[in-house]
Structure 1
Amino acid sequence: MLQILTGFGFLSGMSYPFRLLGVFKSHSRLLSYIIVPILLNFVIAIFLDVGLFLFGWELTQVLTDTIIQRLDLFLVNLPSWLGGLDYLIVVLGFLLRIIFGILLLVLTGFLLVQFGVILGAPWYGKLSEELEKITTGNVQVIEVGFMGDIWRAILFEIKKLVLIISLGFLLFFLNVLPGFGTLLSPMGGMILTGTILCLDFFDAPLERRRLKFREKLGIIWKSLPASAGFSLVCLFLIAIPFVNLLTIPFCVGGGTLFVCDRILQKGLLPSENQSFIPQ
C-alpha cells in the first residue's frame, strides 16, 4: 500500500534533495562544502542570464511573432463568420510566450548545472564522500590516479555531449512529424534532460566505483520510477532563477543520498562492483 501511495518510489525519489536539510541540521560542518559552489553558481548565472537568457528571450519573441503572423495570414482567407478565431490567436500567442519562457528557464538552469558541477567538482566530491560516510558508514573508492581521474572526467563529458546531440537530432526530426511527433518530441526532450541530470547528480558516488558510462545509464533505468521523481524535482529546482543558485548543491547532495539508499543498499551495482557495496 505504501508503494502505491508513493507512486512505487516516484514520490520518495522527489524527496531526496530536501532530505539534505536534515543532514545539514545534524552535521552543520557539511555546509562549508557548498559555500564555494554557490558563489561559483552566482558568477556563472550572471554570464548565462546576460548572454543566453536575454538573447534567448528576444529569439523566442521573434519566433512567437512569426508563428502568429503566419496564423493571421491563414485566417485572412477564412469565411467572415470565423472571425472569432482572432481571439484564439491572441490566447495562443500568450500561451506560446509562456511555454517558450519556461523552456528557456529550463535550458538556462540546465547549462548552469553543467558548468557549476564541473567547476564545483572538488567541493561537491568532498560533500558526496562525507554524505556516503554518514549514510553507509564508509566510503569506497577505486583508485586510478590523478591523470586517470582527469581522463575519465573528459570522457564522461564527451559521452554526455554525444548522447545529447544524437538524441537531440532524433527528437528534432521527430517533431517534424504531424500529430504524435509534435507530442512525443517535447516528452522525449524532458526524458533526455532528466537522464542527463541524473547522470550529473548521481555521478560522484558512482564515479568513485569507476562505473562505465553505460552502467551509469543502466542504474538510472533500474532505479525507476524513483529516479524519474528525483530528476523531475531537480528539473523544477534548477529552472527557478536565483533560487537555483542554492538548490543545485542540494540536488548534488540529494543524488548521493539517493545512490546510497536505492542503489548501494539494494545491490543495483554491476556484478563486478558488488564488493563495493557497504555491508
Structure 2
Amino acid sequence: MLQGNFFKGLGYLGEGFGLIRQPGLRLFVIVPLILNILLFVALFWLLAEVFALMIAGLMAWLPDWTWLQAMDWLFWILYGAVVLLLFAYGFVIMANLIGSPFYGFLSEQTERYLTGQEVSEEGGWMLILKDVPRALWREVQKIAYYLPRALVLFAIGLIPVVNLVAAVLWFIFNCWMMSLQYVDYPADNHRVSFPALRRRLGARRLSALGFGLPVALLAMVPVVNLFVVPAAVCGATAFWVKEPDPTALVRH
C-alpha cells in the first residue's frame, strides 16, 4: 500500500523557491547558478554548432532543385525539440555533478534555517572542498541506479502498443528519480546511505512522487531549469525535515 501525501509532496518545490530567496542561503544558490548558466550557454553553443554542421552537410548532399533545400528552417525546429529533451534531464544531471558540493552545503544551511539546529560541527568553504569526492561519488551512485532501469524502460518503449504504457512509466520513473536525486543531499549530510534513502522514500512514495512531479516538469523548461535545481535542493530538505521517517535508517 502506497503511503504518504501526494498533495503535500507537491508543495515542497514551492517552499524551496521561497527558501532560495532567504538572505542566509542566497550565496550558496548564486555560485552554482553561475556555474549552471555557463554550462547552459556552453552546451547550447556546442549543440548549435554541431547541428549547423549536420544541416550544412545534408543541404550539400541534396540536389539544388529539391524543395528540401528551402526547408532548412524545419531542421532548426527539430534542433529546438532535441535541445528541449536533452536539457530536460541531461542538463540536470550535469548541473548536479558540477554543483553537488555546493548543493550539499546549501541543504545543510537550509536545514539549519528550518530547524535552528546545526547539522554538523564543521562548515564553510573548506568543508565544501573536502566533501567534493564524496559528493561526486553519490552522484555516480544515482547515475548507476538510473541507467539500467532507464534501459529497461527504453526497451519496453520499442514494443508496439506496450510503448504507450512505457511513456507513462517513463514519466513516473523520472518523478521518482527527481525525488531521489534531491532528497539525497540532506540524506548525505546525515550520512544516510543511498540504499537506506531509497527505503525511506519508498515508505513515503506518494509524498516522494508528489515532490518529484513539478521538479520533472519544470526541468523541461529552458532557463527555468537553472533555478529549479537549487529550489529543489531546498524543497527536498524541507521534505526531509517534515516527512516522518517510518524506517530504521541504516547509516554508513
TM-score w.r.t. length of structure 2: 0.73
- In structure 2, what is the equivalent of residue 224 of structure 1? 205
Tell me the amino acid that sits aligned with residue 15 of structure 2: R
Alignment gaps of 5+ in structure 1:
1-6, 60-96, 274-279
2:15 corresponds to which residue?
A: 19
Which 5+ residue runs of structure 2 have no aligned equivalent? Answer: 55-76
Q: Distance in 2 between matches of 1:146 and 1:125?
A: 8
Structure 1 residues 29 and 136: CA distance shift in structure 2, 3 A: closer
* Aligned ranges 1:68-79 → 2 under 5 Å: none
CA contact (8 A) 1:53 1:104 kept: no
Q: Which residue of 2 aligns with 1:207?
A: 188
Deviations 1:19-54, CA, capped at 9 Å, x for gaps: 1344456x4232122111111111111123234578
- The residue aligned with 1:28 is 23
Distance 2:132 2:105 in 1: 16
Residues 53, 108 of structure 1: 8 Å contact kept:
no
SS in structure 2 of the partner of residue 120 of structure 1: helix
Give the Cα separation in 1 of the matches to 2:142 and 2:165.
22
Report the alpha carbon displacement of residue 164 of structure 1 after superposing the two structures with TM: 2.5
Q: Which amino acid aligns with 1:159?
A: Q
Higher-Rg member (1/2):
1
Match of 1:165 in 2: 147
CA contact (8 A) 1:41 1:245 kept: yes
Identity percentage over the alignment?
Answer: 24
Residues 185/122 of structure 1: CA separation in 2 closer, same or farther (3 Å cut): same
Distance 1:48 1:34 in 2: 21
The 2-side partners of 1:272 and 1:170 are apart by: 28
Deviation (angstroms), 1:252:
1.3
Aligned to 1:119: 98
1:187 Cα deviation (Å)? 2.0
In the other structure, the counterpart of 1:187 is: 168
Residues 195 and 56 (structure 1 numbering): CA distance in 2 closer, same or farther, change over 3 Å?
farther
- Structure 1 residues 110 and 55, CA gap change in structure 2 (3 angstroms): farther
Contact 2:156 / 2:166 at 8 angstroms: preserved in 1? yes
Show the counterpart of 2:223. 242
TM-score, normalised by the number of residues in structure 1: 0.67
1:176 has 2:158 as partner: yes
Residues 154-179 of structure 1 deviation map (CA, whole Å, 9 limit, x = unaligned): 44333323322211221122123332
Q: Which amino acid aligns with 2:111?
A: E
How far off its partner does 1:239 sit? Answer: 1.2
The answer as to whether partners of 2:20 and 2:234 remain within 8 angstroms in 1 is no
Q: Secondary structure at the match of 2:205?
A: coil
Distance 1:168 1:272, change over 3 A: closer
Distance 2:121 2:247 in 1: 14
Residue of structure 2 equivalent to 1:40: 35
CA pair 50-208 structure 1, distance change in 2 beyond 3 A: same
